[in-house]
């Protein structure tokens, strides 16, 4: 098929056109996706900044806010560890070293549900069969950021099947963690508070949690990169078609 436009003849070959449309569509979708990620990260940072400006909440202030509205709040109040439960969140990397995030359930006076707290990172022993030495104080001050939007893809089994503590886990699935609690710890409760607290101070472990790993500016840069690649593909196709048309015209003469 030949189209005459802008004083040029453009030869359209449908298989080649469809392939390039597919490539351009994919690049545009990637650009839009990265832009949406930037908007999402911006929303998270703004929400965290808002809550930080309000100061840390105690139990009374926390219970006065619906759980669906507390993502990103800062918390500070005394808690008690539900011994002996310790989960080790597997495959956490800090400064190039593989280890675990130490996760424990705690209760607080005035709070009707226990909470899950990520206390920070601990390096893994050299042998997979070994567990790191974990010492949790019976009582400590909770001082961290509450995140209620923690979703990740789980492949395979989450909690290892063992009756000893600590236990390795692959994901912070609160319903599964609650079901694995010893009977003496769970008998007075029905479920965990819907969220995970990431300790920011007063922890015996390495605090490394960041709510946003890749900033919005980087997502915007990737979005621009994909958009420019899509534009480049379009330009290359047009130039290649024009050159091919000119060659065919010379042969006709």
State pTM to two decimals. 0.72
Tens-digit pLDDT profile for residues 140-172: 999 999 998 766 555 556 787 777 899 999 988
Asked if residue 158 is part of any domain, the answer here is yes
Clarify whether residues 7 and 90 are in a common domain: no
235 or 94, which is more confident:
94
Asked if residue 208 is part of any domain, the answer here is no
* Rg of the chain in Å (alpha carbons): 27
Q: Which domain holds residue 26?
A: 2-40+216-252
**Cis, peptide link before residue 166, omega less than 30° from 0:** yes
- Confidence band for 8, pLDDT divided at 50, 70 and 90: low
Clarify whether residues 95 and 28 are in a common domain: no
In this model, does residue 137 exceed pLDDT 60? Answer: yes
Asked if residue 124 is part of any domain, the answer here is yes
Clarify whether residues 195 and 224 are in a common domain: no
Mean pLDDT over 194-206 rounds to 89
Q: What are the phi and psi torsion angles at 161 (to 5°)?
A: -85, 95
Asked if residue 55 is part of any domain, the answer here is no
Residue 124 DSSP one-character state: P
- Distance (Å, whole) CA 49 – CA 55: 10
Clarify whether residues 165 and 223 are in a common domain: no
Clarify whether residues 89 and 174 are in a common domain: yes
Mean pLDDT over 64-74 rounds to 87
Closest CA to 45 of 173, 145, 119: 145
Identify the H or E element spanning 11.
strand 8-11
- Confidence band for 252, pLDDT divided at 50, 70 and 90: very low
In this model, does residue 242 exceed pLDDT 70? Answer: no
Q: At what angle do helices 14-54 and 216-252 cross, to 10 degrees?
A: 170
Clarify whether residues 148 and 88 are in a common domain: yes
Clarify whether residues 13 and 81 are in a common domain: no
Closest CA to 87 of 171, 5, 6: 171
Clarify whether residues 230 and 118 are in a common domain: no
Clarify whether residues 22 and 82 are in a common domain: no
Asked if residue 45 is part of any domain, the answer here is no
Asked if residue 58 is part of any domain, the answer here is no
Clarify whether residues 226 and 129 are in a common domain: no
110 or 47, which is more confident:
110
DSSP 182-241: -HHHHTT-SS--SSEEEE-SS-SSB----S-SS-HHHHHHHHHHHHHHHHHHHHHHHHHH
- Split into its structural domains, the chain has a count of 2
């Amino acid at each position: 098929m030949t189209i005459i436009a802008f004083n040029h003849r453009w030869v359209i070959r449908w298989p080649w056109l469809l392939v390039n449309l597919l490539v351009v569509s994919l690049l545009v979708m990637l650009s839009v996706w990265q832009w949406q990620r930037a908007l999402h990260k911006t929303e998270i940072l703004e929400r965290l900044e808002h809550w930080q400006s309000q100061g840390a909440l105690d139990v009374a202030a926390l219970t006065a806010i619906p759980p669906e509205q507390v993502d990103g709040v800062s918390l500070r109040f005394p808690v008690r560890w539900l011994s002996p439960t310790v989960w080790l969140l597997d495959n956490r990397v800090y400064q190039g070293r593989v280890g675990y995030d130490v996760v424990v359930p705690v209760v607080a006076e005035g709070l009707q549900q226990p909470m899950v707290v990520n206390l920070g990172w601990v390096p893994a022993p050299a042998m997979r069969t070994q567990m790191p030495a974990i010492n949790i104080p019976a009582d400590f001050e909770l001082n961290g950021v509450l995140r209620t939007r923690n979703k990740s893809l789980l492949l395979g089994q989450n909690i290892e099947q063992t009756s000893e503590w600590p236990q390795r886990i692959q994901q912070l699935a609160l319903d599964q963690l609650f079901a694995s609690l010893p009977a003496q710890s769970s008998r007075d409760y029905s479920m965990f508070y819907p969220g995970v607290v990431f300790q920011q101070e007063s922890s015996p472990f390495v605090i490394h949690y960041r709510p946003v790993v890749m900033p919005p500016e980087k997502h915007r840069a990737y979005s621009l990169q994909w958009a420019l690649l899509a534009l480049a593909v379009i330009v290359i196709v047009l130039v290649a078609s024009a050159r091919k048309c000119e060659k065919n015209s010379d042969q006709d003469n």
